[in-house]
């Protein structure tokens, strides 16, 4: 186990489970993860390997005996008849038969209906009436001569969810973890390997949890296919329901006026609409209107009566175009059905998750470490709906006066949700508070900027906040920095009257900018890049400063692992691209020897040397014997030093084994890590004045 796995087991005994076990026991059972983890939590919530293996076999046996596969439903029904009583795991929904004045249960996979269920059980578990609940149930079979009587008798029913938990114990245990450890724990709990994500990407994953811990939170995520947008809403919590965006009606979602039956928003904490995007989808205008009122006022009407509800609304859908294409030709909401492509509806959304920043899910991104049994975490998040953390930034910061009430609500609810998830014990530093506040502002700004494109009657808003010293700090979205000419295409000037060319220069490298000069002007400067920013490459970052050099020295202690070796090889490719065919360039690397795989490291360097020599590059290397090098920089013999705080390791993990992805082939399509560069002039090195290694 890793140190964090050991810590999790020490402070949350019996409440955590190894996440790879879900796949081990699932087999062909089509059940949500929280059902499987409920069972694993009963038998495998331990770090003792023999107990885990025994527990796995027990859970497999339970599933084999009692989970109802639809293609084996007839066999299970026969077992119930022959044995008289049998335990099943199935999704059960209940309807009121008003002609007989009885409640009747329906078993989804077992395929039986009209099973009598007592009103006490229904009152105790009202979600049986809306959407259905996964349960462990004892069924009996007793045939009667009365043709109208069902032979099926429901003896006992137990919803698969946690019955109790200690919230105070949870908060106390949280204090034993650092912020980074806790974030990694939550990311592992939802099934992902935190080592494969940067800080910004981890926060994006946590945003998806806010609808479960914040009442009436409205969230949208649009992005490419395969990024796991709907996974959390279908697998994570027994308090959320995922429905198809095209299969919902006013009676099902809100209220049936003829029967008076309350819809999904009255029973579920989170209602998520899958496949929400699609221009051609037909949508009921009445649904949009009542949804707008509910999202703004937390209420809806039933005839003359107004009802309230707490369900958060989530909309997830796929985009068909790239971000610069959408910004140039339309906006970031352009994929939505026409009825939902409405500024009043969209303005009620609190946060827009940039789905194009989320990597397509790959096998190595799943966690094999320990995390909370998701049902336990789901109950914790549900209890946090009773708390309000939205004011916890106000001791240090205040939102700028120009931000409207609706914008403030969106920012505050997102900030409150992130604080509940990461700092339930209220232990955030000023810097950590500021990071979450900026992230919350950015998500709301993304919504408002696109709404202003759709409806010009919305006034421009400067999204910024003020610190204790009275300093105003503006917030920009990442795509605004990447594509400023497209993001602000319909606005001639910025908010403060500056031209956008002057105001939006925080992204020095804009691959979408058509006016890039043929020969860039080299100057001393310091550049900062955000996590997940795209459009960057060694060619654009370093190429102009390498051109004309005959000797280059790289100092980087971390050229050991395969992906780091690949970064070095791609740097050498940039050197080749920026030299004339009839020139030769010497490249010398100073690095640290790998303690365990030094021989493999040397072998790789030899292969690079051989390959480079054939294209006019003399590659050499040396291992630093002192073990003290930490600074990472590149020095040329024609007067430039580039300091890189991450060295060449500037890109997020990507699929290196797939030859048919552009992220594999072209650096500008890879999301980057947060990093900084400083370009400094140095005295040119005179020929023969010193050897290369002394540079």
What pLDDT, in 10s, does the model give residues 79-109? 899 998 899 999 999 998 888 898 999 999 9
Residue 70 has pLDDT above 60, yes or no: yes
Q: Which helix (H) or strand (E) holds 102?
A: strand 102-107
Q: What average pLDDT score do residues 150-177 get? A: 87
Residues of the chain with CATH 3.30.870.30: 525-694
The string of pLDDT tens digits covering residues 632-651 is 999 999 999 999 999 999 99
The fraction of the chain above a pLDDT of 70, given in percent, is 93
**Is pLDDT of 497 > 70?**
no
| Average pLDDT value for residue range 537-557 | 95
Residue with tokens 């038998």: 43
The dotted CATH code for 70-159 is 2.40.50
pLDDT of 474 above 80: yes
* Residue pair 239/267 in contact by the 8 Å Cβ criterion: no
Q: What is the mean pLDDT of residues 374-397?
A: 93
Q: Is the pLDDT of residue 390 over 50?
A: yes
pLDDT of residue 219: 97
Mean pLDDT of 61-85: 88
667-691 average pLDDT score: 83
Q: Enter the pTM of the model.
A: 0.82
Q: Determine which helix (DSSP H) or strand (DSSP E) holds 261, and give its type and residue range.
A: none
Write down the pLDDT at residue 556.
Answer: 94
Task: Give me the mean pLDDT over the 4-32 stretch.
Answer: 86
Mean per-residue pLDDT, 368-387: 92
Vertex 620: Cα angle to 618 and 621 (nearest 5): 160
Coil, strand or helix at 607: helix
- In this structure, what token pair is assigned to residue 36? 């499987």
β-bridge pairing 85-97 and 133-141: antiparallel
According to CATH, where is 3.40.50.300 located in the chain?
A: 165-380
What is the pLDDT at residue 145?
75
Residues 535, 510: contact at Cβ < 8 Å? Answer: yes
Q: Going by C-beta distance under 8 Å and a sequence separation of 6 or more, which residues neighbour residue 286?
A: 250
Under a CB-based contact definition with an 8 Å cutoff, are residues 486 and 417 in contact? no
Cβ–Cβ < 8 Å for 151, 143: yes
Burial class (CB in 10 A: 0-12, 13-18, 19+), 39: buried
Q: Is 392 helix (H, G, I), strand (E, B) or coil?
A: coil
For residue 417, list its beta bridge partners. none
420 pLDDT more than 90: yes
What does CATH list as the number for 165-380? 3.40.50.300
Confidence of residue 46 (pLDDT cuts 50, 70, 90): confident
- Write down the pLDDT at residue 514: 47
What's the confidence (pLDDT) of residue 551?
96
Rounded to 5°, the CA angle 570-572-576 comes to 115
Report pLDDT for 516: 46
Q: Are 105 and 93 a contacting pair, CB within 8 Å?
A: yes
Phi and psi, residue 316, nearest 5°: -125, 140
Alpha carbons within 13 angstroms on the beta-carbon side of residue 672 total 24
What region does 426 belong to: left with phi over 0, alpha with psi -120 to 50, or beta? Answer: left
pLDDT tens column, 236-261 = 888 899 998 666 888 889 988 777 78
Domain 525-694 sits in CATH at 3.30.870.30
CA distances from 400 to 210, 448, 473 (A): 24, 15, 9
In this predicted structure, what is the pLDDT of residue 272?
95
- Portions of the chain given CATH number 2.40.50: 70-159
pLDDT at 454: 92
Q: What is the pLDDT of residues 628-637, one digit of tens each?
A: 788 899 999 9
């Amino acid at each position: 186990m890793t140190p964090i796995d050991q810590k999790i087991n020490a402070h949350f005994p019996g409440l955590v489970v190894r996440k790879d076990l879900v796949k081990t026991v699932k087999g062909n059972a089509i059940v949500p993860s929280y059902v499987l983890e409920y069972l694993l939590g009963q038998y495998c919530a331990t770090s003792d390997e023999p107990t885990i293996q025994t527990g796995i076999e027990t859970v497999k046996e339970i599933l084999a005996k009692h989970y109802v596969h639809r293609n084996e439903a007839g066999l299970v029904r026969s077992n119930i008849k022959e044995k008289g009583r049998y335990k099943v795991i199935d999704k059960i929904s209940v309807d009121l038969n008003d002609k007989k004045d009885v409640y009747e249960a329906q078993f989804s996979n077992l395929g039986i209906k009209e099973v009598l269920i007592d009103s006490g059980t229904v009152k105790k578990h009202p979600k049986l009436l809306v959407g259905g609940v996964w349960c462990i149930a004892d069924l009996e079979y007793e045939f009667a001569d009365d043709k109208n009587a069902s032979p099926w008798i429901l003896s006992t029913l137990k919803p698969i969810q946690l019955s109790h938990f200690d919230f105070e114990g949870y908060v106390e245990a949280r204090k034993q973890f650092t912020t980074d450890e806790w974030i990694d724990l939550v990311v592992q709990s939802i099934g992902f390997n935190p080592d494969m994500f940067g800080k910004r990407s981890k926060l994006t994953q946590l945003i998806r949890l806010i609808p479960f811990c914040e009442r009436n939170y409205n969230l949208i995520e649009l992005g490419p296919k395969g990024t796991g947008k709907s996974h959390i809403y279908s697998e994570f919590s027994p308090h959320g329901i995922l429905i198809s965006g095209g299969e919902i009606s006013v009676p099902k979602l809100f209220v049936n006026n003829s029967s008076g039956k309350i819809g999904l928003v009255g029973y579920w904490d989170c209602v998520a609409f899958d496949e929400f995007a699609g221009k051609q989808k037909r949508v009921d205008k009445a649904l949009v209107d009542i949804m707008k009122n509910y999202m703004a006022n937390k209420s809806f009407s039933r005839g003359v009566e107004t009802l309230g509800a707490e369900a958060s609304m989530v909309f997830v859908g796929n985009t068909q175009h790239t971000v610069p294409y959408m910004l140039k030709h339309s906006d970031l909401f352009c994929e939505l059905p026409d009825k939902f492509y409405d500024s009043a509806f969209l303005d009620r959304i609190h946060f827009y998750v940039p789905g194009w920043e989320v990597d397509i899910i790959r096998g190595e991104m799943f966690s094999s470490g320990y995390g909370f049994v998701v049902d336990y975490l789901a109950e914790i998040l549900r209890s946090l709906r009773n708390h309000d953390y939205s004011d916890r930034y106000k001791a240090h910061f205040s939102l700028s006066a120009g931000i409207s009430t609706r914008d403030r609500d969106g920012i505050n609810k997102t900030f409150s949700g992130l604080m509940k998830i990461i700092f339930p014990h209220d232990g955030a530093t000023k810097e950590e508070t500021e990071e979450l506040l900026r992230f919350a502002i950015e998500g709301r700004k993304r919504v408002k900027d696109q709404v202003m494109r759709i409806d010009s009657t919305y006034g421009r808003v400067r999204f910024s906040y003020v610190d204790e010293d009275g300093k105003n700090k503006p917030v920009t979205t990442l795509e605004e920095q990447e594509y400023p000419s497209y993001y602000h295409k319909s606005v001639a000037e910025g908010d403060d009257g500056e031209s956008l060319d002057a105001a939006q220069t925080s992204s020095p490298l804009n691959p979408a900018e058509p006016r890039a000069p043929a020969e860039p002007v080299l100057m001393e400067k310091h550049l900062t890049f955000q996590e997940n920013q795209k459009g960057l490459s060694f060619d654009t970052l370093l190429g102009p400063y390498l051109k004309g050099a005959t000797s280059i020295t790289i100092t980087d202690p971390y050229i050991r692992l395969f992906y780091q070796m690949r970064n070095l090889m791609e740097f050498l490719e940039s050197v080749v691209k920026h030299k004339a065919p009839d020139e030769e360039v010497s490249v010398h690397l100073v690095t640290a020897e790998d303690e365990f795989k030094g021989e493999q490291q040397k072998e790789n360097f030899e292969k690079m040397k051989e390959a480079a020599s054939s294209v006019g590059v003399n590659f050499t290397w040396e291992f630093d014997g002192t073990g003290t090098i930490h600074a990472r920089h590149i020095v040329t013999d024609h007067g430039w030093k580039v300091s890189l705080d991450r060295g060449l390791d500037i890109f997020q993990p990507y699929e290196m084994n797939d030859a048919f992805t552009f992220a594999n082939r072209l650096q500008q399509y890879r999301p980057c890590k947060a990093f900084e560069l400083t370009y400094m002039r140095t005295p040119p090195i005179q020929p023969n004045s010193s050897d290369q290694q002394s540079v």
